[in-house]
Amino acid sequence: MKKWLWTLGLTSYLGFLVVSLPAAVVVKLLPALPGVTLGPAQGTWNDGHLAFVRQGNVQLNSIHWQLSLAQLWRGQLGFQLDVGASPAEPTAQLQGRAGLAGMTLEQGVVTVPIRWVLPKVSLPMKMDATGDIVVRIEEFQSGAPYCSVLKGQASWQDAKFESPIGWLDLQSITGVLSCQQGNLQLVTAANNPLGAALTVDLLADRYQIDGTLQPAASLPKEVHQAMQFVGPQDSQGRYVMKLAGQIRR
């Protein structure tokens, strides 16, 4: 009886030590990733907080995680991830599971201010814009370079764009997200003031945009005149747009 109690007590104590293992200790034990810097960690391994994660000129702040062992028998670790604490920076709420085979998201919402994005992409001209890119993920499975499965929607909300004649209110631009041969793809609907029907592909180290623009008659004449710099018109009077560039990391 005493031996059984001693074994139970030791097992409970070891379990307590594992559950309460500090996040700072776990972070130090993680293998270093080239170019990735991790900020100070607080909490425990299964309920912790990281001040920031930085790679190149991209930094995510205030990362809080909660882990679940319910799916461990399947070789997977459940997680709830919350990122960001300021509307001026990216924020995210993600729920899913991870294992040796990769990561699966069951649901998620990611919000990124457009002004946070602009300095990180190579554009053919200087531009300014406001609003938020909001991504709602219904299903995602990781792959190379980004995904193997993706189902969701994305929108540029409260979209405003600075033109030579002043700021233009584009209202919102919405689209459907999918995974195409491992790359992220967004296809937008043309129901916006610019009539932007675009396909945006995010590749391993670059992006490309193909589609058409057909500004609404209500937009200033200067907008219609500026379309000549976008590209030629097709048979339906839409201006053909082709744009590509490198992603700065």
Residues 87-138 pLDDT 10s: 899 999 999 999 888 899 999 999 999 999 888 777 666 778 999 999 999 9
Structural domain of 178: 101-249
User: Could you tell me if 62 and 165 lie in one domain?
Assistant: no
Q: What pLDDT is recorded for position 26?
A: 80
Query: Would 12 be classed as within a structural domain?
Result: no
In angstroms, the CA 58 to CA 116 distance is: 10
Q: Could you tell me which of 93, 88, 91 has the C-alpha nearest to residue 116?
A: 88
DSSP secondary-structure letter at 15?
A: H
pLDDT of 245 above 70: yes
Query: Would 18 be classed as within a structural domain?
Result: no
Query: Would 124 be classed as within a structural domain?
Result: yes
User: Could you tell me if 61 and 113 lie in one domain?
Assistant: no
Close Cβ partners of 198 (under 8 Å, ≥ 6 residues apart): 175, 186, 187, 188, 209, 210, 211, 212, 241
Query: Would 15 be classed as within a structural domain?
Result: no
Phi and psi for 32 in degrees, rounded to 5? Answer: -70, 135
Residue that terminates a domain, selected from 37, 52, 86: 86
Of 30-34, 42-46, 115-119, least confident by mean pLDDT is 30-34
In angstroms, the CA 84 to CA 94 distance is: 12
User: Could you tell me if 165 and 111 lie in one domain?
Assistant: yes
Query: Would 132 be classed as within a structural domain?
Result: yes
User: Could you tell me if 202 and 235 lie in one domain?
Assistant: yes
Residues 190-216 pLDDT 10s: 999 999 999 999 998 889 999 999 999
User: Could you tell me if 163 and 133 lie in one domain?
Assistant: yes
Ordered alpha helix ranges (H), the chain: 2-19, 23-29, 114-117, 221-226
User: Could you tell me if 156 and 55 lie in one domain?
Assistant: no
Residue that terminates a domain, selected from 86, 111, 136: 86
User: Could you tell me if 198 and 109 lie in one domain?
Assistant: yes
User: Could you tell me if 52 and 111 lie in one domain?
Assistant: no
Query: Would 233 be classed as within a structural domain?
Result: yes
Mean pLDDT value of segment 179-185: 96
User: Could you tell me if 34 and 132 lie in one domain?
Assistant: no
Q: What pLDDT is recorded for position 12?
A: 40
Could you give the dihedral angle defined by the CA atoms of residues 227, 231, 232 and 237, in that order, rounded to the nearest 10 degrees? -50
Residue that terminates a domain, selected from 36, 53, 86: 86
Query: Would 92 be classed as within a structural domain?
Result: no
User: Could you tell me if 76 and 105 lie in one domain?
Assistant: no
